[in-house]
Every structure is written in structure tokens, then in C-alpha cells.
Amino acid sequence: MCDDVSLRAIADAEGTPLYVYSAAEIRARYAALDEAFSTYPHRLHYAFKANSTLAITRLLCGLGAAADVNSVWELEVARRAGFPATDIVFTGVGKSLQELECAVPLGLKAINVESAGELSRIEAIAAQRGQPARIAIRINPDIDAKSHPHISTGLRVNKFGIPADLARELAASVAGRPALRLVAVHVHVGSQITSIEPLARAAAFVAELVASLPSTVGPLEYVDLGGGLGIAYDGGTAVTPKQYAAALLEPIRPTGLPIVIEPGRSLLGPAGTLLARVIDIKPRTASSEFVVIDAGMTELMRPALYEAFHRIEPVMPRSGPNRQYEIVGPVCESSDVVGRDRVLPPLEVGDLVAVRDAGAYGSAMASNYNRRPFPVEVLVEAGRWNVIRRRQTVEDMLSLES
């Protein structure tokens, strides 16, 4: 079940592969995070990259979330979802000139700047328009997030942010650059961070940097501590919103500055499931079989991309002794393994399986490889479901081609 709705009924009606999201779970997760920071001025900027489906971002907008976007295309979706420009921060290690020309005139809450060159490009556009740009400097604190290397962003060798010394210099320079307004310092050290220590260290790093800024730098409006809070993909326990808030607030409180955070995964991940059907079973080793399902790296890239673990469960478990399965997708790549060496109740062709915790970085990272269409997505709310994104068709794909 997803809340009170049968997953089998949804799959029978809409077909598979299929993403199912629980509106109640998204609401509950947003409320828990918001409540955890309630003793301190704060704003939750939902990270669109986790899942930017219009219905979901509208739901979050309605709950009072602000937005964190990583491209002008996410920015456009955010505006269409109802987020005012003044509630949007724009991050991204490679904002093209075209993107900056589009973003600067909008009067965003901040453009999070990733290099001295980018700062100059923003300045030139703002000066030409005679409208100062609000910017935050993204620092690279050289902190190991201890997450998967592909989603760790806080080490000096990672491409993100500006080292502290240069960040301080740039912040000081902004005082003499009338086309720029420095409103915040930003940090984001990685995603799926499962221990509190790197998050607390990054917050302390920001607090120290803010305290060390020369007095010529006017007062900042807030600090932006990015996203990164991990979830328990194995079904165990994760850092709680309260522990997370306490770890960030302790170092930041003395600055007196409001906090912005950019949560993605922790709001959406556990609120979504990918439903797939078994399309084939064949022998693998003496003790295990391949189970081929109709969803793979094209629908959920995380296992192939970072050997990410997602629990996989039969929707209607059959009786009988557990069996050992290698659960693979249909895509023509050996890396298209959704679950390695899983021990599950017996499966048969046609059975439905649920790939859990797929709400974040699931559909958002889908591709059309092998000309596989983007899957249908439904949102369960108040005992019923609505299609929030229909399944892509070959016509949809070919409509871009000539």
C-alpha cells in the first residue's frame, strides 16, 4: 500500500515501470524538518534537482518551501510551480553566460557564486542593467563528507566552490563593486551524508569565515548551509531532523544570522517508490537466478551510477523459502543491476516489485537510453492517486527530431 491505496491497483491501471509518491509523506517530512529548526530564523529551500516534477514542487511551494535550483531550466520550472524569484537561490558549478543573462535580471534571493570569473560575469551583466545582483559566495571548506565520492562536493579537489582565502578576498572586493550585493556565504559538502560530523564541521567553517570577514563587508542577510542530510536506504535509522538542526544551529547561533538549508533527498527520497514488473527469470549461478524487471538504469540510475543500494520488495510476497536473486534491468549494459545478491521470497514472471526510497534522484535522473520512455509518475493523496506525469511516448521523443 501507499498510504491507503493499493500499489497493485495503481500498477494495473497505469502500467509499469511507474513512480508512486506519497503526498502525506512529503508533507510529514517537510513539517518535521521545519519544526526541527523552529527555534531559530530559517528557510527551507527545496533542492529541485532531487525531483522537479511540477506537482511535487507545487506541493512543497504550498507548504511554504523556498527553492534551490541548479540551472535556468529548473529555475523556470520553479517559477511555473509558483515560487517567487525572491524565494529562489541559484547554485551550479557551471552557469553559462546565457543562463546568467537570464537569471540576473530576475532579482533572485541569491546567485550562489562558484568562482572569481563567475562573479565578474554576474557583475558585468548587473552593471549593464544598472540593477545590483544579490550574490552568495559558495565556499569550498575542504571537508570530507564521507559519502560516495561521486556525491561528495566539499573537498578542495572537488570542482565546487571557492577556497576560504579567495572567498574572503572576493567578499572584501564586493564592498567596492556597486553592481554586486553580497547577501550570504554558502556551503554544500555533499549528499547522502549519514553522519552529523561533516555537516557540523561545514557549519562551523561557515561561522568562522563569516566572523573573519573584514568590517568593510557589510552585514550578511543569512548563511546557506546547503543540503546533504542522508536517509536510511537500508531501512535502518538515519540522522534525525532534530539532530541535524542541533548540529547546524550550535555553530551558527553566535553569528546571529538566519539559516537557509537546501534539502532534497531527505524530503523526497523515502516518499517515492519505483514499481516494476518481473519480465524474466533465468539461471545465474548454482544458487542464484537473474530476475529481469521492466525498470533499470534508465528509470533509476543510482545503482548503476554509484552502486547505490535500494531495498527491493515483492508487492505481494509469495509463500515459500527465500531465494537468491540478482535483480537486473532491461537495459543493454552490464552495469544495469538494480539490486545485487538479494534474498527475497520467491518471484514469478509478472510479479510486481517495489524499489524503495526512489523519490529523490530517481525520475529526475531518468534517460531515454535504448529509447526507453520516461515512466509514468503518480501522486497518492487523500486515498486516491493522480497521474502527475504521463508516460512518455515515442511520438514525444521523436517530436524533437527532424
Ligand X SMILES: Cc1ncc(COP(=O)(O)O)c(C=O)c1O
Query: Where do contacts with ligand X occur on this chain (CB under 6 A)?
Result: 47, 49-50, 68, 91, 188, 191, 226-229, 262-266, 360
DSSP labels, 176-214: T-TTEEEEEEE---BSSB-SHHHHHHHHHHHHHHHHTS-
Select 227 or 272, whichever has its Cβ closest to ligand X. Answer: 227
Residue 191 beta carbon to ligand X: minimum distance, rounded to whole angstroms: 3
Burial class for 173, CB neighbours closer than 10 Å (0-12, 13-18, 19+)? middle
The distance of closest approach from Cβ of residue 188 to ligand X in the complex, given in angstroms and rounded to an integer, is: 4
For residues 116 and 135, what is the distance between their CA atoms, to the nearest angstrom?
12
Residues designated as active site: 332
A 10 A CB-CB count for 85 gives 16
**What is the Cα–Cα distance from 185 to 199, expressed in whole angstroms?**
15
**Residue number, 265 or 310, with CB nearest to ligand X:** 265
CB of 226 to ligand X, least distance (A): 5
Cβ closer to ligand X: 22 or 266?
Answer: 266
Please name which of 180, 189, 117 lies closest in space to residue 149, comparing C-alpha atoms: 189
Q: Choose between 91 and 115: whose C-beta lies nearer to ligand X.
A: 91
In the complex with ligand X, the residue whose CB is nearer, 167 or 179, is 167
Q: Give the span between the Cα atoms of 260 and 88, in whole angstroms.
A: 11
Least distance from C-beta 160 to ligand X, angstroms?
7
Q: Are strands 312-314 and 337-344 parallel, antiparallel or unpaired?
A: unpaired
CB of 262 to ligand X, least distance (A): 4
Residues 6 or more apart whose Cβ sits within 8 Å of residue 273? 2, 7, 19, 20, 354, 355, 356, 357, 358, 359
